[in-house]
Chains A and B, each alone.
Chain A
Amino acid sequence: MSTPEVAARELTYGEAVREAIAEEMRRDPRVFLIGEDVAEAGHPFKVLTGLVQEFGTKRIIDTPISEPGYAGIGVGAAMTGMRPIVDVMFGDFITLAMDQIVNQAAKVHYMSGGKLKVPIVFRTTLGATRRSAAQHSQSLHAWVSHIPGLKVALPSGPYEAKGLMKTAIRDDSPVVIFEDKMMYRTKGPVPAEDYTIPFGVAEVKRAGTDITIVATSSMVGVALGAAKLLEEIGIGAEVIDPRTTYPLDKQAMIDSAKKTSRALVVDEGYERYGVTAEIASAIAEGAFYHLDAPVKRIGAMDVPVPFSPVLEDLTVPSERTVFETAKALCRKA
């Protein structure tokens, strides 16, 4: 007897984030969320709609526009038994809270000889092409990935958005999670039951034998699109999503590159000193004797994100550029 096929439940990326937060708040009374316009307004991107109705304003806390202030309050609350989710509306604004994230949250556990813990989640965004110009469009996850003491998660779809958020909330160390703001309305299968996604475990999104494409966050979809185009010209691309930039699953990427002998790394942060550089060097080091070509990387163009759509679109890696670069690496004209 065959079981009838049940259509997988679908949620948007935004709904998946909300479900993760709601489930964790039900599960653990120490979890609360703090930030600007998060309560009644349900966040400008509407990701948190309904949470204040369920959990009240004591656990969904609206703040003044005071990023360093409420980030610091989050750190102090985390050190004394709570598990805050600090909501930083746009990734660009983590710069205002940077002292609290980098000099305080990231260091407390180590500096105290392991006596104090900071179980805090900073949730924020990345991603351009929303026509929001230079101060609302950056992907700054490399900044925090650089800092010992912080973990950094980059959900690439609704499934990851729920699973990584739940892992982040349960982690005893500070985690910064960057959601792709252009993906909030993207739908995908998300299990209704409780699940987590372990940090530091990459996922093979598509198997292939000719080239490894490592892609993060918003670039996973771009890489999968490019892989389809590559398939049409007879190139099998393996697409890998690291899911966290720290901890980083170097082994999975090295193993894949050993198999395919070529690697390309794609990320939406600035290319210069970026996430792509770290991953490319890990592959180059770990798979050197198996490589048939230099490891290539594509990041966002090293310019402040321009407003004009005709310019902005040029700054972000596209399916076309990933396809062309991969094709050239495989020496196909």
Chain B
Amino acid sequence: MTTRAIEPRMELEANLHMYRQMAKIRAFDEQVNELYKSAKMPGLAHLYIGEEAVAVGVCEALRRDDLITSTHRGHGHCLAKGAAVNRMFAELLGKEPGYCRGKGGSMHIADPETGNLGANAIVGGSAGIATGAALSAKMRGTDQVAVCFFGDGALGQGLLYEVMNMAALWRLPVIYLCENNLYGEYTPCGETIAGDILARPRALGVHAESVDGQDVQAVHATMRRLVERARRGEGPAFLECKTYRYYGHHVGDVNREYRTREEEREWMSKHDPLETLASRLTTQGLADAGVFERILTDVKAEIDGGVQFALAAPYPEPNEVDQDVYA
């Protein structure tokens, strides 16, 4: 049979694709930081750099018509689900061709065509939306799955527990995806989370697991199982991804007094998601450094093109201000 020969090749393709997606997210947010520093971007943005394996591992386990809800730190989720860099940059600059015609900005990018129901600037604010999307999928008789991204900080929000309870009662196809990056703003999560995180969903009868969020293959493999489960009608799941944001809470948080430089160096040097995947594939003899360099060059070109597009794009016309308040 030929499948044996093809499978590893396909697997390599899939892994390189995941590497490319992670590299794209990183380059995108590096560019966002530059736009902020050069005062070309209005307002602030929360960078996803360091956490790329989570969004990519998760979204690569989803179909295009599966649904996600995202957070204030959402650029990675949008890109991983298939958003285009040029329209994302345009949104961040408040320009007309942006995903929300400039009305949403960094914290509110929505792209229904790729199954993205929107980022949310209210911590935990999308827990209801994702669960409702799962209820809707069930009512409409599709086999779509909904994924709710949220940070460790959202574990403080009561809404999350209300909807997890209902999702368990009604066996809804929803996955609660906790990106535990150890901090909520400027407070370490040890000061805000009592007890064991996984015990919370488990108490409600929600299947719960934890995974190394810096290992894209591990995130992806775990998510595939959980998505299959949900699609088969076996109910909701909770996945904690242990991860780390390399930059401050937002682009303006440059001093980061609430954590040490050693801690940052440790994560960056030992748990970098891109490095982890690249060195594994290299060690296994599946790829060489040149492969990754080429990907990075491609990605850089895509980002450069995207930002040029956005900088040159027009602002919305003033008369758009009161359009779309109602459907």
Contact surface of A with B, Cβ cutoff 8 Å: 36-37, 40-41, 44, 62-66, 68-69, 92-93, 96, 130-136, 301-304, 306-311, 314-315
Contacts and interface: CB of A to CB of B under 8 A. Distances in A.
30 contacts: A40-B258, A41-B258, A63-B156, A64-B155, A64-B192, A64-B193, A65-B192, A66-B156, A69-B156, A69-B158, A131-B43, A131-B44, A131-B105, A132-B44, A132-B107, A132-B121, A133-B106, A135-B122, A302-B322, A303-B322, A303-B325, A307-B94, A308-B42, A308-B315, A310-B318, A311-B94, A311-B102, A311-B318, A311-B321, A314-B318
B103 interface: yes
Interface string B88-115: 0001001100001011111110000000
Given A69-B158, A135-B121, A310 B185 contact: no
B142 interface: no
B282 interface: no
B94 A65 contact: no
B121 A65 contact: no
A277 to B, nearest CB: 19
Given A37-B187, A135-B122, A136-B121, A66 B105 contact: no
A160 B322 CA distance: 34
B156 A135 contact: no
Contact of B185 (A41, A301, A314): A41
Interface of B: 42-44, 91, 94-95, 100, 102-108, 120-125, 153-158, 184-187, 191-193, 257-258, 315-316, 318, 320-322, 325
A202 to B, nearest CB: 32
B102 A64 contact: no
A145 to B, nearest CB: 23
B94 A310 contact: yes
A314 B185 CA distance: 31
A89 to B, nearest CB: 9
B153 A307 contact: no
Contacts of B91: 307
A312 to B, nearest CB: 8
Contacts of B184: 36, 64-65
B260 to A, nearest CB: 14
Given A66-B156, A133-B107, A311-B321, A37 B43 contact: no
A41 B187 contact: yes
A177 B155 CA distance: 28
Contacts of A315: 321
B156 A65 contact: yes
Contacts of B94: 131, 307-311
Contact of B42 (A40, A69, A96, A309): A309
Contact of A310 (B123, B156, B315): B315
A62 B322 CA distance: 39
Contacts of B187: 36-37, 40-41, 62
A177 B49 CA distance: 37
Nearest to A307: B105
B102 A132 contact: no
A68 B160 CA distance: 13
Contact of B102 (A130, A134, A306): A306
Contact of A303 (B95, B102, B321): B321
A37 B191 CA distance: 11
B158 A66 contact: yes
A37 B107 contact: no
A310 B104 CA distance: 13
A66 B123 CA distance: 10
B162 to A, nearest CB: 11
B108 A133 contact: yes
A84 B109 CA distance: 37
Nearest to A66: B156
A66 B325 contact: no
A67 to B, nearest CB: 8
A137 B70 CA distance: 20
A61 to B, nearest CB: 11
Most-contacted residue by chain A among B102, B103, B153 (CB, 10 A): B103
A307 B108 contact: yes
Nearest to B250: A44
A40 B316 contact: no
Nearest to B122: A135
Nearest to B193: A64
A63 B95 contact: no
Contact of A68 (B107, B158, B186, B322): B158
Contact of A308 (B95, B193, B322): B95
B103 A307 contact: yes
Contact of B316 (A41, A134, A301, A308): A308
